[in-house]
Amino acid sequence: MSQIQDTPKHAYIVENTEICEGEPVINGTRITVRSIVQYILYQGLTPEELIRELTQLKLSEVYDALSYYYDNKNIIDDYIKKNQRPKN
């Protein structure tokens, strides 16, 4: 019988305190999971539209970022709140 992993692995997501203050990013970029979530879930872009705009990304990386978000929703939502511009 196979074991189910407790912590999912995300092949394209890294956290490094020297990149974006440790915020999760797509490996090899400075594009945060938070940014991908905001483009797709808040601005309404599709993953396909996003990779046309951010040409250094692959579709698999975008979907991994979304998966990471849903596995770590509270953490990424906190990053979103911390990075919101104050409303005047």
The per-residue pLDDT string of the chain (88 residues; one tens digit each, 9 = 90 and over) reads: 445 455 668 999 999 999 999 999 999 999 999 999 999 999 999 999 999 999 999 999 999 999 999 999 999 999 999 998 776 6
Residue-range domain boundaries for the chain: 13-82
State how far the Cα of 43 lies from the Cα of 22, in Å rounded to an integer.
24
**pLDDT at position 88, please?**
62
Please give the CATH topology (third level) of the domain spanning 13-82. Answer: Arc Repressor Mutant, subunit A (1.10.10)
**pLDDT at position 1, please?**
45
State how far the Cα of 88 lies from the Cα of 73, in Å rounded to an integer.
27
Tokens of 50: 């996003």
Write the CB contacts of 62 (distance below 8 Å, at least 6 apart in sequence). 36, 40, 47, 50, 51
Model-level pTM? Answer: 0.86
State how far the Cα of 64 lies from the Cα of 86, in Å rounded to an integer.
30
- Neighbour tally for 54: CB within 10 Å: 17
